[in-house]
Structure 1
């Protein structure tokens, strides 16, 4: 039996959230056979105030140490998952200059690094794999103990995100150049994030196939007189509103259901003018499969730009696992799933693709989509990830041994 790996995941994504995060899902799967310390999102003092006043729901008592910072989620001590809550940090992204940002990050890194190293010692972690899930801001300044291999995990294009004040690209490159391996979620990100000396690998996003397995659900709505086209996810500026308006107008007998949090009320207002459009509040990840059973087609109508080109949408595999036909704009490739979806780049072609999916779908096609999604299960993705890590970790060790031999 292979010795468990010791993984410290320093994450931007919060451990607890209303939506699925690839980082969390990968670490959960890896914790079955490895020991994982998940370092939770570093909440700031601003977040703390919002938490105490109820404006931002999270377990703020852990930040202050009123509840244990280190908690066991699963496992027997040799393997399993532990989550570490850090103390509140200074709001570095409030800085308007890189000089001030750097100072604040250094202070935050010293304080938070102490707690991470204490947890590493307490858990007896050695030969640590540092898995940095887009936390280069502290990762570049941390001095974590027992780390022998560093992975930079880039799961989205963050360099243009306004919140990061333009600091993301510099910090991201610095960490990636110092890492032993860069892992990305799409081929577009692989092209963009390639460094001179650091190897890079692609691990696409996955799906909890057992939760979405279309074989488990009653598909009786397939024969209903009113066909339903569904979208799950945030209602924000990634949606191609102009395309959607035209498509919805051209298909008045088809219902369009949007399930998710509305970040842009103007989008909701425009689309809601059509009587065949319904908006539903966001639901937990566990509730999504049941909602998808009433749908006939799943859509991902994003605008095509540099930001969306780097996205690998989780919903694509969820739709496919349910056996649903998928129609999407060609904003990005979704790897091996490309062959199972309909791409359409205009209102006319989108309508044609929807009509075909609604009228010409077959049991054989649904089975093929479910089988494809099964190959994208998170456990499979986690296996791909750890195989890449161990491959390059072994290569690094062999190179080091050869170098030492040459010196003798």
Structure 2
């Protein structure tokens, strides 16, 4: 395990947003006597226009969020950095100057740069070539909707792979796509904070009041309600079982008029990570209803491991990374089968099956993932 490091982490998600791989791994390392400066992804001058809530992020700041963990909200950047390389270079130079100032205030000298962003290749000069680099590739960045140029992002990613001391991916499909860029590429899937989500099985834990009185059975989803969500399958499930409740926990950033047409589909929004076990406890079945596209086939869903840690039956669309968990997890090839498998899961759950799920989750903990990544970094680290 890493210990005694000062890690600068360029993340793809806000620390206070949906908790996923970056926050989890950095939290594990902080517990093992490493200092972490977690950099929230910068916003651009256009961001508050598209999302007014981002106006609160216009000022740069550093906050301590836990023992050994500080979060840096960087200054506002120019738009189109993922479309024009020269813009990205200007942005990363600006970020680099600001980052150096904050590190000096903290009295820290980085010993490891850990990044999730291809565009951070242009930030590397700030470390002067003396700091080892780990690129943890968790997504197919060219498949995200928005203002990107595929060629520009692909070029930056290839350069980052070539300059990284250690390169990781979260999914086998990603490994197949990226292995030519990084011969030593290592597959380290996502995981779960098993103890946290295991609270959902404790009799003494109260169910979240918001879902406690919903008519059951309750089918639940935790994650972003985005364009990749298979709303048609959820609508079919709601129509087939109008007496059931379907609860989608997470921020909504796409048109959900189809879902709002069903009285038994509830969208209570994003909930605090600490409260999620109280919601999961109310669910009879948990689902991963993703459309199959270039983005999702490269995803190793964190929610899979969290659902299992909570002991819940899981039904998913046919994502490549979920298939290997069959038959423990129901894999639906189409909408009709999705409805059928959820219906069966509600009827056939048992304590023995719940115990099997928790055991699989224990084998896929974030602590184990952090240890595997640390071993890879130790093996790849170049003499300095």
Whether the TM-score (by the shorter chain) exceeds 0.5 is yes
Normalising to structure 2: TM-score of the pair? 0.85
Quote the residue 2:202 is aligned against: 216
- Equivalent in 230, 233, 254 of residue 240 of structure 1: 230
SS at match of 1:147: coil
Distance 1:190 1:107, change over 3 A: same
Q: Verify the 8 A CA contact 2:40 2:71 in the aligned structure 1.
A: yes
- Equivalent in 296, 320, 342 of residue 354 of structure 1: 342
Aligned pairs for 1:100-115 (under 5 A) are: 101-115=84-98
Q: How many residues align?
A: 373
Report the Cα offset of residue 258 of structure 1: 2.2
Quote the residue 1:90 is aligned against: 78
Distance 1:84 1:301, change over 3 A: closer
- Equivalent in 366, 369, 373 of residue 381 of structure 1: 369
Give the Cα–Cα distance (whole angstroms) in 1 for the partners of residues 30 and 136 of structure 2. 17
Give the Cα–Cα distance (whole angstroms) in 2 for the partners of residues 306 and 320 of structure 1. 25
Quote the residue 1:276 is aligned against: 264
User: 1 or 2 for the larger relative contact order (CA 8 Å, sep ≥6)?
Assistant: 2
Q: Verify the 8 A CA contact 1:300 1:328 in the aligned structure 2.
A: yes
Which runs of no fewer than 5 residues in structure 2 stay unpaired?
none
Alignment partner of 1:123 is 2:121:
no
Q: Which is higher, the Rg of structure 1 or of structure 2?
A: 1
SS at match of 2:251: coil
Deviations 1:335-357 (A, max 9, x none): 86455211011233223322221
Q: Verify the 8 A CA contact 2:215 2:244 in the aligned structure 1.
A: no
Quote the residue 2:119 is aligned against: 137
Deviations 1:103-160 (A, max 9, x none): 222222222212333445553426x2221111x3242353113634221111112102
Which runs of no fewer than 5 residues in structure 1 stay unpaired?
64-68, 401-408
Normalising to structure 1: TM-score of the pair? 0.81
Report the Cα offset of residue 30 of structure 1: 0.8
Q: Verify the 8 A CA contact 1:129 1:147 in the aligned structure 2.
A: no
Distance 1:57 1:303, change over 3 A: same
Quote the residue 2:249 is aligned against: 259
Report the Cα offset of residue 296 of structure 1: 0.4
- Equivalent in 165, 179, 192 of residue 207 of structure 1: 192
Q: Verify the 8 A CA contact 2:6 2:108 in the aligned structure 1.
A: no
Distance 1:56 1:210, change over 3 A: same
Give the Cα–Cα distance (whole angstroms) in 1 for the partners of residues 7 and 307 of structure 2. 31
Q: Verify the 8 A CA contact 1:180 1:198 in the aligned structure 2.
A: no
Distance 1:188 1:197, change over 3 A: closer
Distance 1:123 1:145, change over 3 A: farther
Aligned pairs for 1:283-362 (under 5 A) are: 283-334=271-322, 337-362=325-350
SS at match of 1:258: strand
Give the Cα–Cα distance (whole angstroms) in 2 for the partners of residues 272 and 72 of structure 1. 39
Quote the residue 1:157 is aligned against: 140
Q: Verify the 8 A CA contact 2:237 2:339 in the aligned structure 1.
A: yes
Aligned pairs for 1:69-84 (under 5 A) are: 69-75=61-67, 80-84=68-72
Give the Cα–Cα distance (whole angstroms) in 1 for the partners of residues 107 and 327 of structure 2. 45
Distance 1:365 1:106, change over 3 A: same
Distance 1:123 1:336, change over 3 A: farther
Give the Cα–Cα distance (whole angstroms) in 1 for the partners of residues 299 and 170 of structure 2. 8
Quote the residue 2:239 is aligned against: 249
Give the Cα–Cα distance (whole angstroms) in 1 for the partners of residues 315 and 77 of structure 2. 43
Give the Cα–Cα distance (whole angstroms) in 2 for the partners of residues 288 and 324 of structure 1. 13
Report the Cα offset of residue 319 of structure 1: 1.4
